[in-house]
Amino acid sequence: MLKKVYRKDLAEGMRFSANVFFDDGANMLIAKGVPLKARELDALDRWKIPYVLTAGSVVTGDFPVSDSVDEVVDLEEVDCEAEAVVDEIEKEPAPAHVKQFSSGQEKKKTSDALKETPAIDELAFTSEQILKLPAVLVQDSVYEAYTGLITELDAIYSQLKEGSEGKSRAIDRLATNLLALIQTNRSEVVGFILGGEIVDMDLAKSSVNTAILSTIIATHLEFPRHRIMQVAIAALLHDVGMLRVPDAIVRKEGKLDDGELYAMRSHANYGYKIIVNDLLYPDEVGKAAMHHHERWDGTGYPAGLAGDRIELIARIISVADAFEAMVSPRSWRDSMVGYLAMKNLLSDNCRRFDPEVIKAMIQCMGIFPIGSLVLLNNSAIARVVESHREAPLRPVLRILVDEFGTLFPQNEGELIDLLVNRNLFIARAIDIAEYRSIA
């Protein structure tokens, strides 16, 4: 359990036996075993933070410091919203009474903190400047290729919905282009997913995003090329069965009754039939899509499979689909920043998702996923561009706004590896929506 340590009781040089978090319990101040420095104490004073939280105690003597994935999993504080979030992303549309996660109250607290931060006020970080940040790393050709994938899949979906005969070759071409885009522009493409750049074509957008994340995980797991292609195809088509669900049910804003819920869940079986019977893909691809709602503990659908009985590709798509849903805005809730979405996956505790797949996703994406915007302890703002497999809390960053307030709009900001530069660390993740609310 996390306990409070008040600012007046903190002193330079103190070390703790567990990670130390800011007062929100989510964002880390220092890792375990790392001594408190004057800059951390100054930051607490400047930001008027009255206390920090830790599960550990003050330690003396030598203390090994580790950023390993296993350690992160062990020490990550379980977010009380996590299980509810993962439950609710299954329900589209959501009941009217669903709690608003990433609540306005939480955003207000974050926004107030930003307003009080001298680093932002004194250095004249205007909202106009900050709102330019999502475009800093956007390359027009990459963005066009990404949106082109979504537009093309949306057109294929329209043909299938109208009853036209689908062409597997079109999906094959789409999957090939998707793999090529990821290979050359991974961080930029994931940044588009986290930024919610596309505001329509929801089904196609979600499918492309899930396919991108799924293939990144599969590549990290060293799947052979033909298997990665299967992952891409199955992920692109994982929700194709939704085309057979009546629009009135898909678009319903209230709670679904039992019959409507049954119809909604039937999309898994419809999808298998479209993939295997209409598009003539092998049974393995069809089952990978059909079983992406199966759960590690056997509570999923349509077959109630558990553990290794669920195809590995389906287990990968399941994790990618859940992450994509959490970072995407819905009519009934705000989107999450990538850090919180990753944190919620960590708190699953082997209930819904294969823990090895989650571990692989963290290793290849990081606790602060590639593409994320982050605030550093020196008040600089950066985008995560690469993750270290064994040190997910210390990624490689591209500076977007330095500690002096200089904006780097042409991707010429300094490249910093936090694994090498131990004097810098991530204070917290940034949601661009915070700045829109301040403007």
Task: Tell how many helices (H) and how many strands (E) occur in the chain.
Answer: 18, 11
My answer on whether 48 and 192 are in the same domain is no
- Would you say residue 181 lies in a domain? yes
Residues 59 and 142 in one domain: no
Report pLDDT for 295.
Answer: 95
**Nearest CA to 340 among 103, 49, 30, 131?**
103
Q: Classify residue 250 by burial, with Cβ atoms within 10 Å: 0-12, 13-18, 19+.
A: middle
Distance CA(176)–CA(178), nearest Å, equals 5
41 and 153 share one domain: no
Q: Determine, yes or no, domain membership for 26.
A: yes
Tokens 């588009």 belong to: 192
> Given this model, what pLDDT does residue 62 score?
54
If we measure between CA atoms, which residue out of 97, 73, 87, 76 comes closest to residue 326? 87
Residue indicated by tokens 């689909």: 321
> What is the spatial order of strands in the sheet that 381-388 belongs to?
415-417, 391-401, 381-388, 373-376, 426-430
CA dist., res. 91 & res. 332, Å (int): 11
Burial group, residue 151, by CB count within 10 angstroms (0-12, 13-18, 19+): middle
Show the low-confidence residues of the chain (pLDDT under 50): 63-129, 136-137, 331-333, 436-439
Domain stop point among 365, 382, 417: 365
In this predicted structure, what is the pLDDT of residue 133?
A: 52
Tell me the longest C-alpha to C-alpha distance in the chain: 71
Which residues, other chains included, contact 271 with Cβ-Cβ below 8 Å and sequence gap of 6+? Answer: 237, 238, 239, 240, 241, 242, 286, 289, 290
| CA distance to 126, 145, 323, 359, 417, per residue, from 77 (Å) | 33, 38, 18, 16, 26
Question: In sequence order, which residues have a C-beta less than 8 Å from that of residue 66 and are 6 or more positions away?
Answer: none
Q: Tell me whether residue 104 is in a domain.
A: no
Token duo for residue 277: 């019977």
- Same domain, yes or no: 177 and 260: yes
* Helical spans, DSSP H, in 97-243: 104-116, 118-122, 127-130, 140-161, 168-195, 202-220, 225-236
Per-residue pLDDT at 150: 95
Residues 50 and 165 in one domain: no
Residue 268 · residue 320 · CB < 8 Å: no
Tokens of 349: 């505790």
So what's the pLDDT on residue 135?
Answer: 52
Domain end among 365, 380, 405 = 365
Q: Are residues 186 and 306 in the same domain?
A: yes
Helix (H) / strand (E) containing 387: strand 381-388
In a domain, 125, yes or no: no
Cα(58)–Cα(40) distance, rounded to whole angstroms?
Answer: 16
Residue at 332 is within a domain: yes
- Total domains, the chain: 2
CATH number of the domain within which 227 lies: 1.10.3210.10
Same domain, 355 and 274: yes
Domain end: 65, 89, 104, which one? 65
158 in the same domain as 39: no
Q: What is the DSSP string of 200-235?
A: S-HHHHHHHHHHHHHHHHHHHTT--HHHHHHHHHHH
Cα-to-chain-centroid distance, residue 322 = 9
- Please indicate, yes or no, whether residues 58 and 200 belong to a single structural domain of this protein: no
Under a CB-based contact definition with an 8 Å cutoff, are residues 31 and 65 in contact?
yes
Q: Hey, is 264 helix, strand or coil?
A: helix
Phi, psi of 339 (to 5 degrees): -60, -45
Q: Judge whether 186 lies within some domain.
A: yes
Same domain, 148 and 49: no
Domain that holds residue 196: 138-365
| 325 and 193 in a common domain | yes
pLDDT of the residue at 429: 82
Judge whether 393 lies within some domain: no
| Residue 105: partners with Cβ closer than 8 Å, 6 or more residues away | none
- In this structure, the dihedral spanned by the alpha carbons of residues 26, 29, 31 and 35, taken in order and rounded to 10 degrees, is -160
Angle between the N-to-C axes of helices 202-220 and 225-236, in degrees from 0 to 180, rounded to the nearest 10: 160
Radius of gyration of the chain (CA): 22
pLDDT of residue 137: 45
Q: Establish how many alpha carbons lie within 13 A of residue 342's alpha carbon, considering only the half-sphere containing its beta carbon.
A: 27
Is the whole model's pTM more than 0.85, yes or no? no
Q: Are residues 17 and 144 in the same domain?
A: no
Domain membership of residue 439 (yes or no) is no
